[in-house]
Structure 1
Amino acid sequence: KAGNVKLVSITVDPDFDTPERLSSFANLYQAEGERWLFLTGGEKQIQRLATEAFKLPVMEGTDPAEPIIHSTRFVLVDVDGNIRGYYDGMETEATQRLITDVGVLLREDA
């Protein structure tokens, strides 16, 4: 059942994170093709996805080194597209909860 889990990374800086750069990043982290996807799109599309679909904040930064300020949270989405949880990617406890909750979803899907 773990094969049903997909990790999707979506750039918030499509001007910098070109498809080629995302592919290099995927190779660097040995991302498994269909299991870990790296997506990009138009800036407005990405911001709309983050704010409307995932309910995450995205703001333009004032520092040229950090042109976009974005959330560090992971969003757990079930097979039906429902958001099942938010997890701060900077907190060990939160990432452990994410792993536990993924297990719950896999058992529900069994």
Structure 2
Amino acid sequence: MGRTKGKPMENGVTLTPQNQIPMPQAKENVDKLNTILKKIRDSRQAMENRLDMITTDMNIMKDDQAKLSDRLKQTESTVADILPTHNDNKNAIVKLQQQMETLRKGSKTQRGAHGAIIYA
């Protein structure tokens, strides 16, 4: 498992007593690296979970947008159906107001038997 002194490694580095790491320190370094790797994996999993939540939220928003778009089309259709009637009613009200003004201006006022004003 260990290398003998002066034997070259596969990458061409020769292990000597100066560049060998003592076994307890090597184990500690491996433990630190494993801890870092676990944190990276946990972080990645958390990001994937968040991405799933965002994707779900986006799909819900797309559905809501489609519903709102349909509702807007229905409202526009209803307004298009109501608007001519509304305009006709407005015109009729204006005509009635004009007729009432004409009647008021052109009529003589009289008092009825009970004091009510009568437009003749």
Greater RCO, CA 8 A, separation 6+: 1
Task: Tell me the TM-score range normalised by the shorter chain.
Answer: under 0.3
Using the size of structure 2 for normalisation, the TM-score is 0.20
Q: Which has the larger radius of gyration?
A: 2
Higher helix fraction: Structure 1 or Structure 2? 2
Higher strand fraction: Structure 1 or Structure 2? 1
Using the size of structure 1 for normalisation, the TM-score is 0.21
